[in-house]
Amino acid sequence: MLFNSIDFAIFLPIVFALFWTVGRHSAKMQNWILLVASYIFYGFWDWRFLGLLAFSSAFDYFVGAELYRQTDKRKRKMFFWASVAVNLTLLGFFKYYNFFADSFVNAFSFFGQELNLGSLKVLLPVGISFYTFQSMSYAFDIYRRELEPVKDIVPFMTLVAFFPHMVAGPIQRASFFLPQFLTHKQFSYDLAAKGLKIMLFGFFMKVAIADRLALYVDAVYGNVDMHNGWSYMMATLFFAFQIYGDFAGYSLIAIGCAWLFGFHMSPNFNRPYFSTSFRQFWGRWHISLSTWFKDYLYIPLGGNRGTKARTYGNLFTTFVVSGLWHGANWTFVVWGAIHGAFQILERVAEELKFPKIPRLLAIPLVFAGVCLAWVFFRANTVQDAFQIVGGIFTNLQGKPHIGDIGIFAFSLMGILMLFLIEFVQEYYPDVNLLNHRQAPVRYATMVAMLAWIITLGVFDGSQFIYFQF
- Best CA proximity match to 268, nearest among 254, 246, 248: 248
CB atoms within 10 A of CB 363: 16
Length of the chain counted residue by residue: 469
66-75 long-range contacts (CB < 8 A, ≥24 apart) are 67/139, 67/142, 67/143, 67/149, 68/142, 68/148, 68/149
SS3 354: coil
d(CA 123, CA 196): 34
CA distances to 1, 21, 139 from 273, in Å = 30, 42, 34
CB atoms within 10 A of CB 305: 10
d(CA 419, CA 272): 11
d(CA 94, CA 107): 22
**Active-site annotation holder among 165, 227, 286, 326:** 326
Please indicate whether residue 436 is annotated as part of the active site. Answer: no
CA distances to 48, 236, 237, 441 from 217, in Å = 33, 7, 9, 35
d(CA 192, CA 269): 21
> Which residues have CB under 8 Å from 28's CB, separation 6+?
152, 154
Question: What does the DSSP 8-state code read for residue 46?
Answer: H
Question: What does the DSSP 8-state code read for residue 435?
Answer: G
Question: What does the DSSP 8-state code read for residue 380?
Answer: S
d(CA 400, CA 233): 9
Beta-strand (E) ranges in 128-174? none
Residues identified as active-site:
326
